[in-house]
Amino acid sequence: MLHSNTTTPYALLSISTILILSATMDPIPIFTASRPTDTQDPPLPYTASPWRLLLSDLRLAKQFYRHIPQMFRPLRDSDGPIAELNLTWENLWVILVHIILIFYQVGFLISLPVLSFFCLMPAPFLLPYIWLAFKVNKVICRWTLNRGDRILHSTYMLPENPPWPREHERWIFLNGIAVGTHWMQNSLNRLSQIFFRPVRGIHTPTAGIVFDLIKCLIQRNFCYATQDVRDAYEIIKETLWDDGCHKLILIAHSQGGIATSLIVDWLVGEISQGHLQKLEIYTFGNAANHFNDPRRLFPGEDGRVGEPRPKDRGPAAGQYQNVSRVLHEQGEQQMANVGRGRGFSVPERGQQTASPRPPALEVIEVGAPMWQRAPFIEHYANSDDFVCLWGVIHFIRMRNRYLGHLFLRQSPGHLFVQHYLDPMFPLDNGEVTIGVNDFFHLVAMAPISALESERCGWTDPGWHLSRLWRYRNGRSPLDHYGL
């Protein structure tokens, strides 16, 4: 339980809002291995020397290496038919291939210094050896894990009459590490089943866990856009330019978060503000070391008092708002019902199946005339996920480094369906996403200002603040922005 009168070193968080949503009442530390920015040891900007960034990443990985086994735990957190570790023949085959590739790739990496420095193998022999090793690895992955097209589509049978029109929406998913065609297709079908939308997947073929991690280091520290990122950028840019597309929902997992951060950097410099307003980004287990966003103004964010602002926008990202008064349509009684102190609140089991009514608009007095806002960027993370500790959880506390809202679940696990979608968007009888569950009913801790250590005056359940949650079962958030 966290209280408002408790001051910890972790109170100085990033420029982005952090919403701590815990699925347990156990007193688990939030950022167990993180520490606030020290002026004597300032963090490296993501534009620093790539070699210094690489060295910093290796030190960071050493700091969190004990969490690496937590990426695959719990093994049976979900009994869903398409969970990655569910005991099916397809999953067992994928796991077996990955185990073989781990031994193959680790052995290859160990052999390089042995052949170079101890056996003194000349370059004319060493270079063909390296080329052959990569070629064999590519052939194994191509014929076992990455069979099929690079562009995939969900195959889940959607209802014929959706509750909300969706013909002007486009949904795109970017996968993470170690994901072959089988797991990619399962992820697309699970997303389609949750949100009742067709989902298009841009598949980043896996090269095995070890080589995928090396690829992440290159993309993250050298800002190098591989061909996978370039292909995804072209598709996303064309989608934003499409006049028939009014909204693009981009979902990314793990390594896909790195690709998304690079794509956003390019989009900001090439796409007009009007086209960028179509974009919504939601990441899970984000491995990126930065997340930029253009400056935007919405109704009520120009310094005028009393402008209605939709509650699904959540708190401002990029700069903490100076909120002097918050009024709900239901009055102060609603705040008393949802904000019991600064801690977390777990509902009774019998109350979790009812679908909640959408929250009303709120009226905010804005203290600062200018806000820097994210175009609906939300990050979902597990607290003991090594990739999150190495990525979003570590870097989001740094000023102007990571924009968006962070929803932190107190749990291990990095697999997209098994450890993120199934616990956060559970299905009722395997068909429809249930109403308020343990994760999204928890009362969010009030945000903390990174500059003045001031808490903003609001507390809300998670489903009030998660825009992605409002898309479930074919629904849509209310957009009252005059766009």
| Residues 97-116: tens digit of each pLDDT | 999 999 999 999 999 998 88
Report the pLDDT averaged over residues 166-186: 93
**What pLDDT sits at residue 461?**
53
Report the pLDDT averaged over residues 30-35: 30
CB burial of 318-339 (b: ≥16 within 10 Å; e: otherwise) equals: bbbbebeeeebeeeeeebeebb
Residue 316, pLDDT above cutoff 70: no
Q: Say if residue 90 is exposed, middle or buried (CB neighbours under 10 Å; 0-12, 13-18, 19+).
A: middle
In a domain, 348, yes or no: no
**What pLDDT sits at residue 21?**
43
DSSP state of 118: I
Query: How many other C-beta atoms are found inside a 10 Å radius of the C-beta of residue 7?
Result: 8
Query: How many other C-beta atoms are found inside a 10 Å radius of the C-beta of residue 272?
Result: 10
Per-residue confidence at 42, pLDDT binned at 50, 70, 90? low
Number of domains in the chain: 1
> Rounded to whole angstroms, how far apart are CA atoms 47 and 400?
13
| pLDDT cut 90: percent of the chain above it | 38
In a domain, 199, yes or no: yes
CA angle 199, 205, 208 (to 5 degrees): 130
In a domain, 223, yes or no: yes
Report the pLDDT averaged over residues 297-316: 42
> Which of 13-22, 374-383, 429-438 bottoms out in mean pLDDT, i.e. has the lowest?
13-22
Radius of gyration of the chain (CA): 23
In a domain, 396, yes or no: yes
Residue 175, pLDDT above cutoff 50: yes
- Cα–Cα distances (Å) from 223 to 33, 48, 49, 260, 263, in that order, read 26, 11, 11, 12, 11
Report the pLDDT averaged over residues 388-416: 88
Per-residue confidence at 375, pLDDT binned at 50, 70, 90? low
229-272 tens-digit pLDDT: 999 999 999 999 998 998 999 999 999 999 999 999 999 888 88
Q: Say if residue 377 is exposed, middle or buried (CB neighbours under 10 Å; 0-12, 13-18, 19+).
A: buried
Per-residue confidence at 41, pLDDT binned at 50, 70, 90? low
345-373 tens-digit pLDDT: 333 333 333 333 333 333 333 333 333 34
Q: Say if residue 244 is exposed, middle or buried (CB neighbours under 10 Å; 0-12, 13-18, 19+).
A: exposed
In a domain, 350, yes or no: no
Residue 128 C-alpha from the chain's centroid = 39
Token reading at 186: 């399962």
323-328, strands of its sheet edge to edge: 308-309, 362-366, 323-328
The string of DSSP codes covering 10-41 is: GGS--SS-EEE--S--S---SSSS--PPBTTB
Per-residue confidence at 188, pLDDT binned at 50, 70, 90? very high
> Rounded to whole angstroms, how far apart are CA atoms 169 and 246?
6
For 140, the 3-state DSSP assignment is helix
DSSP state of 154: -
Residues in the chain: 483
> Which of 29-38, 56-65, 236-245, 369-378 bottoms out in mean pLDDT, i.e. has the lowest?
29-38
**What pLDDT sits at residue 132?**
96
> Rounded to whole angstroms, how far apart are CA atoms 379 and 17?
10
Residue 164, pLDDT above cutoff 90: no
Most confident of 69-83, 153-167, 326-340, 459-473: 153-167
279-284, strands of its sheet edge to edge: 18-20, 405-409, 377-382, 279-284, 247-253, 169-174, 200-202, 151-153
74 upstream amide cis, omega within 30 of 0:
yes
Here the CATH number for the domain that contains residue 448 is 3.40.50
Report the pLDDT averaged over residues 44-57: 87
75-95 tens-digit pLDDT: 776 656 788 888 889 999 999
Residue 451, pLDDT above cutoff 80: no
**What pLDDT sits at residue 238?**
94
Neighbouring-strand partners of residue 327: 363
Q: Which helix (H) or strand (E) holds 468?
A: none
Per-residue confidence at 189, pLDDT binned at 50, 70, 90? very high
Strand spans (E) along 50-199: 151-153, 169-174
Residue linked to tokens 């929250």:
359
Per-residue confidence at 439, pLDDT binned at 50, 70, 90? low
Report the pLDDT averaged over residues 432-452: 46
Strand spans (E) along 356-430: 362-366, 377-382, 405-409, 427-428
**What pLDDT sits at residue 295?**
52
| pLDDT cut 70: percent of the chain above it | 64
**What pLDDT sits at residue 305?**
39
In a domain, 225, yes or no: yes
- The chain-wide mean pLDDT, for the chain, equals 72
Higher pLDDT, 347 or 404: 404
The amino acid at residue 74 is P
Strand spans (E) along 287-402: 308-309, 323-328, 362-366, 377-382
Per-residue confidence at 143, pLDDT binned at 50, 70, 90? very high
> Which of 13-17, 318-322, 403-407 bottoms out in mean pLDDT, i.e. has the lowest?
318-322
In a domain, 481, yes or no: no
In a domain, 403, yes or no: yes
pTM, entire model? 0.75
Token reading at 265: 């950097």
Report the pLDDT averaged over residues 398-408: 83
Provide the residue range defining the domain that includes 167.
148-294+372-474
Token reading at 153: 């589509």
**What pLDDT sits at residue 116?**
82
Residue linked to tokens 């939308």:
197
Q: Which of 462, 397, 441 is nearest to 18 (CA)?
A: 397
> Rounded to whole angstroms, how far apart are CA atoms 429 and 312?
28
